[in-house]
Amino acid sequence: MRKDSALSLYYQMLRIRMVEEAIARVYTQWQMRCPVHLCIGQEAVAAGLCANLLKKDYVLSNHRSHGHYLAKGGSLKAMFSEIYGKENGCSGGKGGSMHLVDLDAGILGSTPIVAGIIPVAAGVAFGIQMKKEHSISVAFFGDAATEEGVFAESLNFAALKKLPVIFVCENNYFSVYSPLSVRQPKKRNNLSIARGFGVEGEEGDGNDVEYVFKAAKKAVMYARSLRGPYYLQFDTYRFREHCGPNFDNELGYRTEIEFSRWCKRCPLETYQRKLLHKGSITAKIINEYKTGIQLEINEAVSFAQKSPFPKPGEAFTGVYA
């Protein structure tokens, strides 16, 4: 891993983490009046994956999309404005946290219907292919999304047409409070399933950003060279509650032991230690990063807070193009 790449991966993760934590802090002022699904703990997937994408590449995502949006280059101000329900939000206030978009950055949308964007992302790749463009399409989704039939249907069509699409499953072992064990058979293996459809793939540690980066690099090269779709599954863990700014271990759906085991594998902290250890980064740089990011966040938050709400009539416009 080149040093600048490594620093950039670290920076991306740090930025996502700090943005999510900022949201968690301001959320309890109850001015962000929409559900938020924070990705704290899962930053490595977004950072490692998107580091391989070009601006012209497309990304679609699910309810837990902040990380993907930021890593792909979505506007921070437009995101905060959107979460605050403001006129200049990326979706004009009509979407909120669960519907982020930034066309300039190739982010075509995120939606909270589980698996809803998987076929859409495949369709984007289909459009790319028909138009003979050279970009690729990426779908981010969770482990639960692989239970929906459209997941299988999309794998089938993507393989049939050799579409330039990467399916990225972030397996955080839970669907809300429901563990994998009540939803998927023990012997289920998504990679085998993907291969059964003729889709190449790979699975591994989603908290190791360099691993994610390398696996994604292969996938992107594969898709971009028009060889077909690729399935990536990254095991990771969500630190905060399913939806909202807090922790929720007290609910008892997961054990403190499990939780703290994963905390020790925090993608950001382990990578920071690694880089410090290797001397690739210094405490000073880290602090500079943090100061810079915090400034950016403060600005974006106050920009969003000061921005006007959409005019009432806006509720009724934009139903039809």
Partner 1 sequence: MAREITYANAVLEATTQCMESDASVYIIGLGVPDPKGVFGTTLGLQEKFGRVRVLDMPVAENAMTGIAIGSALVGMRPIMTHQRIDFMLLSLDQIINNAAKWHYMFGSKMSVPLVIRLLVGRGWGQGPQHSQSLQALFAHIPGLKVVMPTTPSDAKGLLISAIQDDNPVIYIEHRWLHGTFGDVPKEMFTVPIGKARIMKIGRDVTVVTSSYTTLEVMKAARLLSEDGIDIEIVDLRTIKPLDEEAIAASLEKTGRLLVVDGAWKSFGVSAEIIALASEKSFAALKAAPRRLAFPDVPTPTSWALANHYYPRTIDIVNEVRCLLNKSQLTESALGIDPETPLDVPDKNFTGPF
Q: Counting contacts by CB under 6 A, is residue 145 touching ligand TPP?
A: yes
CA distance 149 to 210: 32
Q: Using the rule CB under 8 A, is 151 a contact of a copy of itself?
A: yes
**Is residue 143 a contact point for Mg ion (CB under 5 A)?**
yes
Burial 213-246 (b: 16+ CB within 10 A, else e): bbbbeebbebbbeeebbbbbbbbbbbbbbbbebe
Rg of the chain in Å (alpha carbons):
19
Q: Are 139 and 118 in contact (CB under 8 A)?
A: yes
In the set 23, 26, 52, 64, which binds ligand TPP (CB under 6 A)?
64
Residue whose pair of structure tokens reads 């698996």 in the numeric block: 115
Stretch binding ligand TPP (CB under 6 A), from 143-151, 191-199, 206-214, 263-271 = 143-151
Per CB under 6 A, which region of 27-35, 73-81, 139-147, 204-212 contacts ligand TPP?
A: 139-147
Q: Which of 135, 190, 233, 307 binds a copy of itself (CB under 8 A)?
A: 190
The CB-of-65 to partner 1 minimum distance in angstroms stands at: 13
Query: Could you say which of 54, 113, 251, 315 contacts ligand TPP (CB under 6 A)?
Result: 113
296 binds a copy of itself (CB under 8 A): no
Q: Which stretch binds a copy of itself (CB under 8 A): 95-103, 179-187, 264-272, 304-312?
A: 179-187
Interacting stretch for Mg ion, rule CB under 5 A, among 47-55, 56-64, 172-180, 244-252? 172-180
Stretch that binds a copy of itself, among 19-27, 128-136, 141-149, 213-221 (CB under 8 A): 141-149
Confirm or reject binding of residue 240 to ligand TPP (CB under 6 A): no
Cα→Cα distances 46→17, 39, 301, Å: 11, 9, 22
The first and second tokens of residue 141, run together, are: 């989704």
State which of positions 170-189 bind ligand TPP (CB under 6 A): 172, 174-176
Percent helix, strand and coil across the chain, each to the nearest 5: 50, 10, 35
Residues 6+ apart with CB under 8 A from 75: 90, 102, 104, 105
* 142 near Mg ion, judged by CB under 5 A: yes
Q: Check if the beta carbon of residue 296 is closer than 8 Å to that of residue 76.
A: yes
Q: Strand 137-142 and strand 58-61: pairing?
A: parallel
Candidate list 1, 150, 276, 286; residue touching a copy of itself; CB under 8 A: 150
* Helix and strand counts by DSSP (H, E) for the chain: 11, 8
Site for ligand TPP (CB under 6 A): which residue of 144, 166, 281, 297?
A: 144
What three-state secondary structure class fits 207?
coil
Residues engaged in binding a copy of itself (CB under 8 A): 147-153, 156, 159-160, 182-198
Q: Write out the residues near Mg ion by the rule CB under 5 A.
A: 142-143, 172, 174
